[in-house]
Structure 1
């Protein structure tokens, strides 16, 4: 099971490390290894969130997630994304941006760092919306009930998460954005940039998340109707009747937008990894290799969690991951002005997920001992 799920990650690791040695010697191998660990540590909560969505999709779309999705994650977000950011923010052609990445690494690093406020605002708002919509939803199983019960009641107010996220964006644009950190330790007023980018992140969530939810609900309605038609078909079978219509088209639309939603989530999670990687190297090739290997492990871990049913066995893991998302969203917004070590960012996610896993184990032990109901909180 492990080899079948992580086989591609293991194989790509060997090839990636060999390519690093061939590209720039044994020192490059160490850089790529460090970047891989950085990416995995920062994105473990991403794997848990993705697993919660991926388990609703068919085996076919899970394979798409591990093939086309990996290409998008490795080459799109870890290689092309920084180049596109430089091209857009510095008003350069893509060719010129690539030339900078290859021939003038220091200037390339400076441009990516200076673009961080817009990157952080977009990713921070997208992730914040994921967290808010989770925490405001009334769920049967609650982890931190003393927090989640009152928030679930507040969640009955329409568009509360959008209003709260908008308030956070306004506060960020009037505080940290007015003294945004720039390359070399300087600061600049990026209020307008942060406001625009944050609004783009909010709108992106509403569009992609809304379409995904719409088609998922359509699929549920169609499946319910299909159940009734199957019952009628079984009754009519004795009279020569035929079955109902296929649901392939609806399933395809729902799965496609879920896949798109997953890719945008991955993009938002990758922002801090890409920016943080510059603290280790400004070589775009080594960065793409290290972060790409890490992204492949995160995707393989996502599929492993789905196939093992881990989220069903340890029910608070999804809660912990969403709390980690909320923390990461706040950290991204704070880093517009202040530098925060990637170690702190990674540890926050690890602690929250580890706590939720431990709470899940305790819950399972209590249920096994007959002292708690399945819906009880930790």
Structure 2
């Protein structure tokens, strides 16, 4: 512009929020499996920590690589002389407050497949001569030699952790190899995968909402501070592990179909007749509880999840009859005698 000419008519452009995520969707379990197959052993462990445990990339390696999750944060990991194993699965993962986005320590879990791949990855590191201990990184930087190894050893943060950028770059290659046309996948979509699959499990009554939020490291509401916001005792840990075990079946491909049930039920007529847990508003929930329904947990801000009463026993279970004619098909006198015997009225002799 010529000197002395003022210009103050800058266009007012409103940013379109989420425009860069318009083509992003959560992968299916089958697509995730293909992504994992295109990763290295270290990348596969990183991917499973994000997709099955729901941790953020910064938990495995901080921004500058000065900190990250250690083997000491896996309390159920057993480092034996000749092997690496977990005492129980799903195994607990303690995320320290310094690595948590909310600056609160929280607990999540790892699946069976994460335990297998992590054990294999740690075995490879031990085979290369790396000593493993409680302070060793869960995800370690690759081995260096010569001046590069000395530079890392003398660095300010030379503890062997990856940076957050290196963590995400490790799985970005696998995502790019499998990503369908017209779809965008960032590394963070694996954490969204965990959240989405647990949400589906919540809708089926397999995991409570507060526990799902706690596993993902969310701060939760006021109620969550009282339910899951404190240090968990043994009873709470056992219940959380049980709910996560049921919900984690939706994380793996082919484990359960769209209408399948968790362990404890099967494709038998009896389990098919059994109604699923349902959400109710508080007033209706009071009436249901009086009718024998069981409380499971909160379901959103204004509803609770209730499990229906146990189904009535079948005639063979109720009467102790196996491979015999049910009572309602015998003649009238036998039916009357059976009824009297069942109720404990009179003698077991035939009633005329």
**When the two structures are superposed, what TM-score results if normalisation uses the length of structure 2?**
0.24
Greater fraction of residues in strand = 2
Q: Which has the higher helix share?
A: 1
Larger C-alpha radius of gyration, 1 or 2?
2
> Which protein has greater RCO, CA pairs closer than 8 Å, 6+ apart?
1
